[in-house]
Amino acid sequence: AQSVTQLDSHVSVSEGTPVLLRCNYSSSYSPSLFWYVQHPNKGLQLLLKYTSAATLVKGINGFEAEFKKSETSFHLTKPSAHMSDAAEYFCVVTNDYKLSFGAGTTVTVRA
């Protein structure tokens, strides 16, 4: 069985400040983990993925995430938020081929 818990339903940050989106996972086996972003009325875009290689994963648009097995976490960070980062973010886990999505975190960016 696998599942994902996104610890924050909403995150609000000021432009230029760091962003932290928290994700904890549960998986019976070594998982693959992903972060996807969904802008309003847009499709899902892959930000980054962890597939048992380096534990610090760098993605697009300055995002990165660190896989911590001991904490079963895969938190997403960005050092400096931009207005265009306002969107819905999903943490996703799989250990076979079925994806399990977290409930999502809505990010708002204040000017």
Chain residues binding other proteins by CB under 8 A are 32, 34, 36, 42-44, 46, 49, 51, 90, 97-99, 101-104
Q: How far is the CB of 86 from other proteins (least distance, A)?
A: 16
Whichever of 29 and 97 has its CB closer to other proteins, that residue is 97
83: CB partners within 8 A, 6+ apart: 15, 109, 111
* Closer CB to other proteins, 56 or 80, in the complex: 56
Taking the least distance from each CB to other proteins, the nearer of 58 and 82 is 58
Q: Which helix (H) or strand (E) holds 68?
A: strand 64-68
Closest distance between other proteins and the C-beta of residue 98, in Å?
A: 6
75-91: buried (b, 16+ CB within 10 Å) or exposed (e) per residue?
bbebeebeeebbbebbb
